[in-house]
Structure 1
Amino acid sequence: MMKKRALWKDIFREIGQSKARFISIFAIIMLGVSFFSGIKAAGPDMLDTAGTLYRETGLMDLKVQSTYGLTEDNIELLRGVPGIDEIQPGYSADVFTGDNAAILKVYSYNTDTSLNQYRMMEGRLPEHSGEIVLDDLLAGEYALGDKVAFSGNGTNAELSDDFATLDYTVVGFVRSPQFIEKNNRGTSSIGKGTADAFAAILESDFKLPVYTEVYLSFKDTAGVKAYTPKYETLIEQHTQAVEEALSGVPEARLAELRAEGEEELSSARMELAAAEQQLAKAARQLEDGQQESAPNGNTVADGLASAREKLAEGEQKLAELELPKIYVTDRNASPGYTEYKNNADRLSAIASVFPVFFFLIAALISLTTMTRMVEENRLQIGTLKALGYGNRDIMAKFLVYGTLASLAASVVGLAIGFTLLPTIIYNAYSSLYNLPDIVKSFYPSYSIISVIVALICTTLTAWIASRVELRGNASVLMRPKAPKSGQRIILERVSFVWKRLNFVQKVTARNLFRYKQRMFMTVFGVAGCTALILTGFGLKDSIGSIAGQQYGTIMKYDVLVALHDDVSDDARVAYEQLISGESAITGALNVAQETMTAHASGVNDQEVNLFIPASVDSVSDYVELQNRTSEEGLKLTDEGAIVSEKLAKLYGLEPGDKLNVVDNKNEPFQIQVAGITENYVMHYVYMTPAYYSSVFGEEPVFNTELLNYGMQDNSWEDPFGEKLTASERVAAVSFSSSVGSVFGDIMKSMDVVTLVLIVSAAALAFVVLYNLTNINVSERIRELSTIKVLGFYDKEVTMYIYRENIMLSVLGIVFGSGFGILLHSFVLRTAELDVTMFAPIIKWPSYIYAALLTLLFSGIVMVFMHIKLKRIHMIEALKSVE
């Protein structure tokens, strides 16, 4: 009992006497634990936050749509699907609105809505006819009480058949769980093919004869977390059940529509027969000379022509009727739903890479530190063995020392990791998504892993180091280790170099090779830290250069003008005069642009922008098509299309392969890949008009014009943009300068993540260098005392150590730079978004910053070491243990 009490006192006395060592072990473990737990928890916390939102707002599980709409009979069929919980039929339509003809996706709303509930950001939901709530994205363009008018493609005749009124009053701004991305509102059946925002009006303001969609939720998914394999499995089963329930609907719906069409045709035929009889009667009366009583021949003939036209139109529509298609889609079809999960998964992937190096470096430094601690206590270990203490009792001191450091560091690291880092990273992504504040959780699995790894780094290393020492007997342990025998180093054999070195340089070279273990540890530690710092700076370079590359080097045009097709000739002429009248404009190119969806098994569906220039020879003035690695220019041909690089990566495409796409009617097409071009933002497929016609069976509609001009400031762009917007021909205007700056601002959100990496790696570098230098000084205390006795000044003693540190640090920086390039490349592949490709570059200043940071920390460490070296008690250090 007395022995154990004495050992515990000795343990705490050791901690008190070696605070620097204990704190350094604590710091390096805390950094590894906090970084691992924080980055690892960020992904699940992001998913949990989104899942909580989906649960609170009742995001649908499935959505059912049909090309000819859904009837009450179809709704009744869905009620019989096993496990169904909520069924919410509704209406939707795409309309133009506003001065810039923005495309609005309008949904129906009623007070009984339980699925896809809106989050009120300002105002209230519609209560009366003629009221509308707008997407929060439009809060800057509209205010409460403003008027919103719906318009179609040049005419409001068709819209009047769909809506009770076309003029609405804004009563609120909302966010929808269907659109968690800030800027993506999905596809549209009108205009450019993509919606700009969404809105909601009362269901009674729709006049559609059938529902356009039905939202479904199921009982067994209510308590299952979103994005989990269990949820995905349940949704697959329910999708199959819904498809089976509606399997006979297309044929029945087609028969119903044909019956309605035949009924209308029968009525039209009767009208035509009546008109023919009236015309024949008028002709007979004219022949009999009854001109005064005969009907007007022209009026009858006009009526007959109108009846024939109506009949022909009805017959054509009936003949064009096709078997309707039913689409059953899940949440993955909602913009941003899958991409958000991919972002969270990428964070988890990064968490599986960076902390590995943190812990690996921590383990090696801890091994060195604990080994040195055991060697310092060699005399005490021998004494205790001589006094009869067992190996287990002696070893307990070092095991408890390492365990206390690990557990204390783990507790602090977990507290920082689970609270601070997820919040920082989530806030960085908040510029991309419309989501509430992060929901933070405690993860026992990550905590257990962190603690186990931390204990391995310290306690296990302490056990290994002490076990090696305890193999010796008491008499051997009570004597200091014999110094390593001097050996000739390789440099000594190179006589013409060795002869030119002075005494201090020769000593430095010999010391480097004499302590090989410390040399390799220092080089490896510095290299690891440099690689982590360089990767952080490299990520900043890669992310920060996207906007300039995409909207400066690749997209050369200055403004993109989306055009209305259904406008009068006068409007077309006025637009042409507007463009030709601007002397600053140096070129124009008509382009057909369409949005389609790329599809392949095992890959997330991607939105693809088709780009078909009217003049193939002029493309290079507006868009740079080139291979990124070879910088070889690419030419459009009629044999295939040129696809953007990230799209090719996602789908594993090479020249000669085929890309499968579907249009907004879900019709499939195949595109031959002729080349792969450098591109960083969104997915593009470039093709000639002839190749477009061969793939899609129709001529391209040139709905966009690209303009180049010599002016590059807002003082000219803003008035010119106003003129374009005022034109009836123009649907939308997009200046490359503003698009590039907006995208650049979004990418800056990733700077926070890279800053976390840089700061963490820099802190690790400081702790590593401090530990290694401290160990170096402690190991050579007798040697340093000797040279001080021989007359070396304090600065000379410091430089005696510092020369070695500088050389090893420089060597570590060189190796770390090479390893950092590989690590940077790996992290880029895991951290990229589906719609972006980070530029695989590290700018030369980043290498300098990483090296300078490492040397800076080395210098700061040496300042502390210089103070320690000045306080060396020479007589005490040189005392013999005899």
Structure 2
Amino acid sequence: MKKQALWKDIFREIGHTKARFISIFAIIMLGVCFFSGIKAAGPDMLDTAGTFFKDKRLMDLKVQSTLGLTEDELTLLKDVPEVEEVQPGYSADVFAGDNGVILKVLSYNQEQALNQYRLMDGRLPEQSGEIVLDDLLAGEYAIGDKIVFSGNGTETGLSESFGTLEYTVVGFARSPQFIEKNNRGTSTIGKGTTDAFAVIAEADFKLPVYTEAYLSFKDTAGIEAYSVEYETLLEQHTEAVEQAMAGVPEARLSELRAEGEAELAKGRAELEAAEQQLAQAAGQLTEEQRQAQAAAGSEAAEQLEAARAKLAEGEQQLAALTLPKVYVTDRNANPGYAEYKDNADRLSAIASVFPVFFFLIAALVSLTTMTRMVEEHRLQIGTLKALGYSNRDIMAKFLVYGTLASLAGSAVGLTVGFTLLPAIIFDAYSSLYNLPDLIKSFYPSYSIISIIVALVCTTLTAWFAARVELRGNAAVLMRPKAPKSGQRIFLERLTFIWRRLSFVQKVTARNLFRYKQRMFMTVFGVAGCTALILTGFGLKDSIGSIAPKQFGIIMKYDALVALHTDAPAEEQQSYEQLISSETAITGTLDVAQETMTARASGVNDQDVNLFVPEAADSLPQYVSLQDRSTGKTLELTDEGVIISEKLAKLYGLEAGDTLTLADSKNEPFELLITGITENYVLHYAYMTPAYYASVFGKEPVFNTSLLNYNAPDSAWEDQFGEKLTASARVAAVSFSSSVGTAFDDTMKSMDVVTLVLIVSAAALAFVVLYNLTNINVSERIRELSTIKVLGFYDNEVTMYIYRENIILTLLGIAAGSGLGIVLHSFVLQTAELDATMFAPVIEWPSYIYAAVLTMLFSGIVMAFMHIKLKRIHMIEALKSVE
């Protein structure tokens, strides 16, 4: 019966204090929802990618050799311990017709087990002359279109690699090797980067040896991608494969030299025999026959000379043969693979910080709320103690009340968190990655942590508050709590100020310091909410400022034109005439651009764009090189390179340090850093032609032209682009205006995350202000009734309370602005992508938005409180409890 009465009392209490119960429920729900949702987003993203890799059987390792792979070398790979599958293949870089698109063409056979494709439209190639294109090109081509391969503007040499150069598009696909939407890795032709991949039948390749081999292993099949266990196994297998291939370079070189020597010996013998035959024939002829055969002899002599030249060329090629290199790379070398994990980890890092604010604020507000609830029931507690109820029975009411609010809030928070937030965040990142729909999972560990923290916030605080009250005996508890004795505040000692304050202002000042706990709770709660809102708006500012800074202030040029360096002289002249004929063009600068890879232990490989201007003195008109913190202009010298800031930050580099870059053949080169320049998108290394030649041992090839112009309108830019594209010398054209817009659209994916943060923080601010204001009114109900009896109007009573709230809210906003700057800085460091750097700025409107939103919520709360204050029953509130 006692327990039944207890439950009835608890539910009756919930019914009477709906606003209090809902506010505790709401603040716990927000904290749990945000924690579980953001925390689950990272693992859900990794699980989605891992499942995709498993379904499409993404390779574990890739083996390449500078001289290709033979059947003997494939046999060595099959003998490596734990190898499950060895899949040889072909690949080559080509231009797709004349539009400048660089394709990485991959071979396909219907029996291949690894690196299976995800068809988006059509089918895979089944016979010669069919091609499947990267889904990236779905807007440029359609099924049934024809594509002709070309190499650097011509078809030279391609006929030796491919059986046919014309293909029919039969489908569009995505590959587990290329999960990043706009990155397809490096290329050995053109600008140095691949635009898209393509798949053709293996039979269409005519190469004598395989260009690569993909490996999978038995012991990695059941291991989750990105896990520490998987990475450890990969390292072990990489070492095993490298050991198995250790003797291959020497053996391959010896084999090639032997084959070359045999071919040369055969050629020498044939040449010698031809020379002897010609000499013998000449000796047997009479003088008349010699004269008659003079004309025919000159043709034979030319053939012999050509044979000697070919023999000499073969000898030179044989002498130039160097030891081949074997490269063993794992999945981390695939574009976007490692960065995808970094993005998921960044979300987890954010999830480790923001929910702390939510839960900390929730704990403080819950402590205040539950403490107030216990104090309100002081008379009831004393009565129950007098009736013989134990402390445990009395405390159970408050514990169950807090526990019910926590569990209900946690249940709703977990449901929304695990289902809604990860989907929103994944949709934001879907503009960067090619992956199937998100796989949502339930995480018991995060659920348990959330529930425990929620119970600590409410149940533990209820236990603590009730325990303090229960220390008193029944007689003391049945009497009202004696009010604290008044004390002079510091402001009263400043008489020259205190004398000038009105009566209401003096009362407000005394009340602020009279309820110190509530004052600090309100300031801290408002500060935390303001900081979160400001961080959200600050993220939006930082992301939004990247495009105008990068493609307006730093990259000053209006257009970048990639050129075919081996175009015929007449095409080069035609291009020069096209540029000179356009009166809107104000300047041009030829630049050598080349993509290389920065490597260092413990850091993901980064693509670095080498930028070598033909005239270094003219570079400031096209690209601004300056130190971000000091604003000092940097100048190129023949002593070293200037690298972009994010690249320096990733590798921990400063001026005077050395950066190691590897080319497409994995040859390492060391560059001395002379300066670090402001840059927000991609990685750059700027150098003079003289320094380039000293490092790489060759002269730079100027394959890019930067243009500045005064375009009358966008229509002129479109027409000019068409003229450039029509030129046979032009491989590709990109306008800074369109590049900046495209990048801005991509970075807007982060706006969703920012919006989630702002909405969550705003909701938290509303709940916190409502709770604290409601507690303030409840604590002072007798005081407010008294001033109403004394003749205060409803508006005056409301302002009596609201004056204090305004001051505390303003103090909280000021403190929150400072805290928001620190929080914003932390989030930028954890949320940045490897290839981008967020501008560390918070625009002044963001401070205003954060302050106005906080004040708006405070005003809405006070509107509700005004209604409550109007309904105060003065006589009942002032009745003596004795």
TM over 0.5: yes
Tell me if the contact between 1:560 and 1:706 (Cα under 8 Å) persists in the aligned partners.
yes
Q: Which residue of 1 aligns with 2:810?
A: 810
Tell me if the contact between 1:406 and 1:451 (Cα under 8 Å) persists in the aligned partners.
yes
Q: Which residue of 2 aligns with 1:177?
A: 176
Change (3 A) 1:286 1:700: farther
Q: Which residue of 2 aligns with 1:146?
A: 145
Deviations along 1:622-655, one digit per CA (max 9) or x if unpaired, are 0011111111111111121111000010000111
Q: Which residue of 1 aligns with 2:482?
A: 482
Q: Which residue of 2 aligns with 1:648?
A: 648
Q: How far, CA to CA, are the matches of 1:287 and 1:602 in structure 2?
A: 82
Letter in 2 for 1:408: A
Q: Which residue of 2 aligns with 1:126?
A: 125
Q: Which residue of 1 aligns with 2:233?
A: 234
**1:224 and 2:223 matched:** yes
| Offset at residue 572 of structure 1 (A) | 1.1
Q: Which residue of 2 aligns with 1:350?
A: 350
Q: Which residue of 2 aligns with 1:399?
A: 399
Q: How far, CA to CA, are the matches of 1:108 and 1:687 in structure 2?
A: 38
Q: Which residue of 1 aligns with 2:114?
A: 115
**1:824 and 2:814 matched:** no
Q: How far, CA to CA, are the matches of 1:414 and 1:524 in structure 2?
A: 26
Q: How far, CA to CA, are the matches of 1:169 and 1:66 in structure 2?
A: 31
Range moving further from structure 2, 532-541 or 387-396: 387-396
Q: Which residue of 1 aligns with 2:779?
A: 779
Tell me if the contact between 2:560 and 2:706 (Cα under 8 Å) persists in the aligned partners.
yes
Q: Which residue of 2 aligns with 1:45?
A: 44
Tell me if the contact between 2:88 and 2:210 (Cα under 8 Å) persists in the aligned partners.
yes
Please give the secondary structure, in 2, of the residue aligned with 1:267.
helix
Deviations along 1:501-538, one digit per CA (max 9) or x if unpaired, are 11111100110011111100000000000000000000
Tell me if the contact between 1:275 and 1:307 (Cα under 8 Å) persists in the aligned partners.
no
Deviations along 1:464-487, one digit per CA (max 9) or x if unpaired, are 111111111111111111112111
Q: Which runs of 5+ in 1 are unaligned?
A: none
Runs of 4 or more off by more than 3 Å in structure 1?
A: 278-289, 292-295
Deviations along 1:662-686, one digit per CA (max 9) or x if unpaired, are 1111011111111111100000011
Q: How far, CA to CA, are the matches of 1:287 and 1:476 in structure 2?
A: 146
Q: Which residue of 1 aligns with 2:769?
A: 769
| Offset at residue 239 of structure 1 (A) | 1.1
Q: Which residue of 2 aligns with 1:103?
A: 102
Q: How far, CA to CA, are the matches of 2:735 and 2:491 in structure 1?
A: 64
Q: Which residue of 2 aligns with 1:9?
A: 8
| Offset at residue 293 of structure 1 (A) | 5.5
Deviations along 1:303-327, one digit per CA (max 9) or x if unpaired, are 1210111011101110111111111
| Offset at residue 51 of structure 1 (A) | 0.7
* Pairing of 1:31-42 with structure 2 (within 5 A): 31-42=30-41
Q: How far, CA to CA, are the matches of 1:443 and 1:712 in structure 2?
A: 58
Change (3 A) 1:572 1:279: farther
Tell me if the contact between 1:286 and 1:294 (Cα under 8 Å) persists in the aligned partners.
no
Q: Which residue of 2 aligns with 1:21?
A: 20
Q: How far, CA to CA, are the matches of 1:479 and 1:286 in structure 2?
A: 144
Tell me if the contact between 1:285 and 1:294 (Cα under 8 Å) persists in the aligned partners.
no
Letter in 2 for 1:877: A
Q: How far, CA to CA, are the matches of 1:293 and 1:287 in structure 2?
A: 10
Deviations along 1:740-763, one digit per CA (max 9) or x if unpaired, are 100000001110000000000000
Give me the identity figure in percent.
78
Q: Which residue of 1 aligns with 2:362?
A: 362
Letter in 2 for 1:147: K
| Offset at residue 284 of structure 1 (A) | 4.3
Q: How far, CA to CA, are the matches of 1:810 and 1:154 in structure 2?
A: 67
Letter in 1 for 2:290: Q
Letter in 2 for 1:797: V
| Offset at residue 769 of structure 1 (A) | 0.1
| Offset at residue 287 of structure 1 (A) | 8.0
Tell me if the contact between 2:98 and 2:153 (Cα under 8 Å) persists in the aligned partners.
no
* Pairing of 1:840-879 with structure 2 (within 5 A): 840-879=840-879
Q: Which residue of 2 aligns with 1:544?
A: 544
**1:664 and 2:694 matched:** no
Q: Which residue of 1 aligns with 2:676?
A: 676
Q: How far, CA to CA, are the matches of 2:152 and 2:370 in structure 1?
A: 77
Range moving further from structure 2, 23-32 or 498-507: 498-507
| Offset at residue 286 of structure 1 (A) | 7.4
Q: How far, CA to CA, are the matches of 2:739 and 2:270 in structure 1?
A: 57
* Pairing of 1:278-293 with structure 2 (within 5 A): 278-281=277-280, 284=283, 288-291=287-290
| Offset at residue 275 of structure 1 (A) | 3.9
Q: Which residue of 2 aligns with 1:725?
A: 725
Tell me if the contact between 1:126 and 1:171 (Cα under 8 Å) persists in the aligned partners.
yes
Q: How far, CA to CA, are the matches of 1:460 and 1:240 in structure 2?
A: 54
Deviations along 1:131-154, one digit per CA (max 9) or x if unpaired, are 111111111111111100001124
| Offset at residue 279 of structure 1 (A) | 4.9
Letter in 2 for 1:199: A
Tell me if the contact between 2:93 and 2:104 (Cα under 8 Å) persists in the aligned partners.
yes
Please give the secondary structure, in 1, of the residue aligned with 2:157.
helix
Letter in 2 for 1:879: K
Letter in 2 for 1:583: T
Please give the secondary structure, in 1, of the residue aligned with 2:577.
helix
Q: Which residue of 2 aligns with 1:187?
A: 186
Tell me if the contact between 2:95 and 2:153 (Cα under 8 Å) persists in the aligned partners.
no
Q: How far, CA to CA, are the matches of 1:370 and 1:106 in structure 2?
A: 67
| Offset at residue 241 of structure 1 (A) | 1.2
Q: How far, CA to CA, are the matches of 1:3 and 1:143 in structure 2?
A: 77
**1:276 and 2:256 matched:** no
| Offset at residue 155 of structure 1 (A) | 3.2
Q: Which residue of 1 aligns with 2:510?
A: 510
Q: Given the two structures, how large is their TM-score scaled by the length of structure 2? A: 0.99
| Offset at residue 292 of structure 1 (A) | 5.0
Tell me if the contact between 1:275 and 1:300 (Cα under 8 Å) persists in the aligned partners.
no
- How many corresponding residue pairs? 881
| Offset at residue 285 of structure 1 (A) | 6.1
Range moving further from structure 2, 263-272 or 812-821: 263-272
* Pairing of 1:297-376 with structure 2 (within 5 A): 297-376=297-376
| Offset at residue 722 of structure 1 (A) | 1.2
Tell me if the contact between 1:285 and 1:291 (Cα under 8 Å) persists in the aligned partners.
no
Letter in 1 for 2:568: S
Deviations along 1:328-370, one digit per CA (max 9) or x if unpaired, are 1111011000011111110001000100000000000000000
Quote the RMSD (CA, aligned, Å): 1.1
| Offset at residue 8 of structure 1 (A) | 2.2
* Pairing of 1:241-640 with structure 2 (within 5 A): 241-281=240-280, 284=283, 288-291=287-290, 294=293, 296-640=296-640
Please give the secondary structure, in 1, of the residue aligned with 2:684.
strand
Tell me if the contact between 1:162 and 1:206 (Cα under 8 Å) persists in the aligned partners.
yes
| Offset at residue 863 of structure 1 (A) | 0.5
| Offset at residue 171 of structure 1 (A) | 0.6
Please give the secondary structure, in 2, of the residue aligned with 1:436.
coil
Tell me if the contact between 2:138 and 2:172 (Cα under 8 Å) persists in the aligned partners.
yes
| Offset at residue 843 of structure 1 (A) | 0.4
Q: How far, CA to CA, are the matches of 1:334 and 1:428 in structure 2?
A: 22
Q: Which residue of 1 aligns with 2:155?
A: 156
Deviations along 1:756-808, one digit per CA (max 9) or x if unpaired, are 00000000000000000000000000000000000000000000000000000
Q: How far, CA to CA, are the matches of 1:51 and 1:826 in structure 2?
A: 29
Range moving further from structure 2, 288-297 or 331-340: 288-297
Tell me if the contact between 1:95 and 1:190 (Cα under 8 Å) persists in the aligned partners.
yes
Letter in 2 for 1:110: N
Deviations along 1:178-203, one digit per CA (max 9) or x if unpaired, are 00111101111111111111101111
Q: How far, CA to CA, are the matches of 2:153 and 2:537 in structure 1?
A: 52
Letter in 1 for 2:41: A
Q: How far, CA to CA, are the matches of 2:741 and 2:53 in structure 1?
A: 32
Q: How far, CA to CA, are the matches of 2:526 and 2:355 in structure 1?
A: 16
Letter in 2 for 1:260: E
Q: How far, CA to CA, are the matches of 1:758 and 1:354 in structure 2?
A: 12
| Offset at residue 568 of structure 1 (A) | 1.3
Q: How far, CA to CA, are the matches of 2:583 and 2:279 in structure 1?
A: 65
Q: How far, CA to CA, are the matches of 1:261 and 1:690 in structure 2?
A: 37
Q: How far, CA to CA, are the matches of 1:119 and 1:5 in structure 2?
A: 61
Letter in 1 for 2:74: I
